[in-house]
Amino acid sequence: MEQVQPQLPAYPTVFSLQGKLALITGGGSGIGFDIARCMVQSGARVVITGRREQPLQEAVRILADSGSGEQAYYVVNDVTERQSLNGLVETIETTYGPIDILVNNAGVNMKKPALEVTDDDFDRIVHTNLNSVFSLTRACAQRMMARKQGSIIMISSMAAYYGIDRVVAYAASKSAVEGMVKVLASEFSGNGVRVNAIAPGFIETAMSKTAMSGDPDRFARAMRRTPMGAFGKPEDIGWAAVFLASEGAKYITGASLPVDGGNSIGF
């Protein structure tokens, strides 16, 4: 007997983010901005946050030009002010509608030998890259779980995959985020909320420029173990985020996707 195949969603509709609202922290520049750009191009509306208003204003202006109509908004917010995060989510949902996609992109790095890292240094990095990520994720996930749908994406790092010298607090924070992805995916899956990470390799942004500046040896080492032999572009992370947020990734949760030109498997 001939088997009847169920209808598949049309390509590229299955990767479309039409009708979705995404909250992207640190979306005014660097990787966060390109995640916003790719999501807008895929049909989503985006709310970007950051501490400085000027880059956010500029980013929204560019995003408005690249999309089809009013698709980008900003809210000035410092993710380290954890007591503000429930209010942030409340304000966004009241003003723009339910958040379907959360991208925890805002992050800070610090390059120092481990023995020179003070407790304050360590706490500052972990507070931004880990503690705030948990608080904002909890605030969004409570609402997503009630609605039985949502996609949460963490921006991890190669520093969570292998030992990179002089980034002890950063590596600790990103490794913990990877652990959080697995726990949250296991807890949230029953309520239709997926949780994944993207682990970028070396990507051309202000952060990587600072990490590499005046350190040609570090740059050469990074390139030596990157089979593609070049830094990635912020949009490479943007398209991966679109995929993970889309229906095309509906059976993917608890994963960490390296977007790294092969850096994580390079010799």
**Under the rule (CB under 6 A), what is the footprint of ligand NDP?**
25-26, 28-32, 49-52, 55, 78-80, 105-109, 128, 155, 157, 200, 202-203, 205-208
Where do we find the tokens 């990074």? 222
Smallest distance from ligand NDP to CB 261, Å: 11
Smallest distance from ligand NDP to CB 176, Å: 13
Give the nearer residue to ligand NDP in terms of CB position, either 34 or 100.
Answer: 34
Give the nearer residue to ligand NDP in terms of CB position, either 51 or 138.
Answer: 51
| CB of 47 closer than 8 Å to CB of 75 | yes
Give φ, ψ of 135 to 5 degrees.
-65, -45
Smallest distance from ligand NDP to CB 13, Å: 29
Q: Given CA atoms 258, 153, 242, 16 in this order, what sign does their dihedral have? A: positive
Residue 96's contacts (CB-CB under 8 Å, 6 or more residues apart) are: 21, 45, 47, 73
Give the nearer residue to ligand NDP in terms of CB position, either 43 or 197.
Answer: 197
Catalytic residues: 170
Cβ burial, residue 145 (10 Å; 0-12/13-18/19+):
middle
Smallest distance from ligand NDP to CB 68, Å: 25
Smallest distance from ligand NDP to CB 2, Å: 49
Where do we find the tokens 């652990």? 179
**Range list of H helices, 97-153:** 119-126, 132-147
Give the nearer residue to ligand NDP in terms of CB position, either 32 or 67.
Answer: 32
Beta 21-25 vs 45-50: how paired, if at all? parallel
Give the chain's largest Cα–Cα span. 72
Nearest to 176 by CA among 158, 155, 160: 160
